[in-house]
Homo-oligomer: A and B are copies of this chain.
Amino acid sequence: MDGGGGGLKPMDSEQLREYGHQMVDFVADYYKNIENYPVLSQVEPGYLVKLLPDAAPNQPESLQRVLDDVQSKILPGVTHWQSPNFYAYYPANSSVAGFLGEILSAGINMVGFSWITSPAATELEMIVLDWLGKLLKLPQEFLSSGHGGGVIQGSASEAVLVVLLAARDKTLRMVGKSALGKLVVYGSDQTHSALQKACQIAGIHPENCRLLKTDSSTDYALSPEIVSEAISHDISIGLIPFFLCGTVGTTSSATVDPLYSLAKIAKSNGMWFHVDAAYAGSACICPEYRKYLDGVEEADSFNMNAHKWFLTNFDCSALWVKDRNALIQSLSTNPEFLKNKASQANLVVDYKDWQIPLGRRFRSLKLWMVLRLYGVENLQNYLRNHIELARYFQVCVGQDPRFEALSGMYTLRLVVGAPLTERRHIDAAWKVLQDEAFTLLCSPLQENGNLPKSPPPIGFFGNGFKAEPLPQK
């Protein structure tokens, strides 16, 4: 009875086995029935506080009782991101392989801040990000064999923050710390809000975060001319441009910024060029979509979220940099209590110095499992299938004169990315939209003259990627 205090054995291996099986069954049953839930939770704000006690129990409760509560109280408050009918935001894929990786990572439960705290965690991460970097045909400088390398961040927000900090400090080392107020960052009004947040955190003056205007003339891509003009103007008034963010697959419409031209501008002005391919990067492991990354060779850093469209459970945001020392110079600390021989001899990578937090989970396991249990060809076909489903949806829309694709107006947006999505789910989604259009366009309001008799068609965005013919073998 020793070892847990008062008879509690919190790590008994046979209880872990028994309860673990029960929980796996619970999750498996959830997936079996996932289509029976409304995708969007239907609860009202504050619903849960009415259902749960206001203090933790003094005595233990049974697992069955907790699972009953999960079923009756928690799941109604869940928005089912893994439902095949989920088309919001961008997907956050789960998969059996990703799920298994999470179980194993939680089982080992180590905190891999330094190499010594579990060499396998650091080394597997380096290896798997090299694998993924090769699949994406990233330039050699992004791989671990040179001065760069890959690292798993929790999110694209953290990825853009750490490279912004690296770029900020690199610049300040040249121009002096007191110039912080003069530093300027560039993106577009379609760049993810994470860039703005990173600027806020890093102490960049809010007025020095330039979200340059885009419009339909470039399909909402960043115009190199506008970027050049803005940079020239800022230099002329004594400011210091230091960071440019390009996007492959913007959040609102999956637009691709012109990477080559942007990289050239950044380089000629001594700026850091970051490429955010958080969502769309996954598709670029297919040869026919790799062209959307053309120009990444010239970037300083590149990010894609394996937790979006690559079957790897959240969180797993892959970041590659060409100059890992720039990251380390911004983010390292070296307190007495973390010193060890391997680190001090500079023989190893300590990922604590590549990220915001100190602690980190063993996240490479799940990405490794996804790559091994599915294999590259299956993954490519999985992505192609989603793009094909999105194209199918586009055909549906095109055949109905009440809708039109991609206008500058108020639009609907549908993203295919849930692992379970099949053609029948698209049909169902399309029927909902058609029914709503019928109601909207034939409503009493219109009859009363409050809406134009022939309203403009309802626009929509699909995945943004056009389906490409498969490459010749």
Contacts and interface: CB of A to CB of B under 8 A. Distances in A.
A74 B356 CA distance: 26
A437 interface: no
A406 interface: no
B92 A193 contact: no
B79 A118 contact: yes
Interface in A104-135: 104, 106-111, 115-121, 123-124, 126-127, 130-132, 134-135
A374 B106 contact: no
Given A3-B420, A25-B17, A45-B348, A8 B124 contact: no
A315 B361 contact: yes
A313 B21 contact: no
A17 B24 contact: yes
Contacts of A77: 118-121, 123-124
A385 B13 contact: no
Nearest to A364: B74
A63 B107 contact: no
Interface stretch (A234-242, A295-303, A328-336): A328-336
B165 A23 contact: no
20 contacts: A17-B24, A20-B27, A20-B100, A27-B103, A27-B104, A27-B108, A30-B108, A40-B116, A57-B372, A57-B376, A60-B374, A66-B372, A79-B110, A81-B108, A81-B111, A81-B118, A102-B102, A157-B359, A200-B333, A202-B203
Contacts of A131: 54-56
A311 interface: yes
A401 interface: no
Contact of A331 (B11, B12, B119, B200): B200
Interface in A356-387: 356-359, 361, 365, 368-369, 371-379, 381-386
Nearest to A32: B13
B386 A5 contact: yes
A1 B260 CA distance: 40
Contact of A97 (B10, B48, B109, B348): B10
Smallest CB-CB A-B distances: 8 pairs: A203-B203, A77-B120, A5-B385, A27-B107, A6-B381, A20-B24, A102-B106, A17-B28
A438 interface: no
Contact of A15 (B96, B158, B384): B96
Which secondary structure dominates chain A's binding surface? Answer: helix
Interface string A8-43: 101111111101110111111111100000001101
A52 interface: yes
Contacts of A74: 120, 124, 365
A123 B46 contact: yes
Contact of A3 (B59, B84, B311): B84
Interface string A52-84: 101111111101011000100111111111101
A247 interface: no
A108 B15 CA distance: 23
A20 B200 contact: no
B81 A109 contact: yes
Contacts of A46: 123
A48 B118 CA distance: 12
Given A47-B123, A61-B372, A200-B331, A104 B23 contact: yes
A95 B11 contact: yes
Contact of A178 (B29, B181, B315): B181
Nearest to A332: B197
A31 B19 CA distance: 14
Contacts of A57: 371-372, 375-376
B32 A315 contact: no
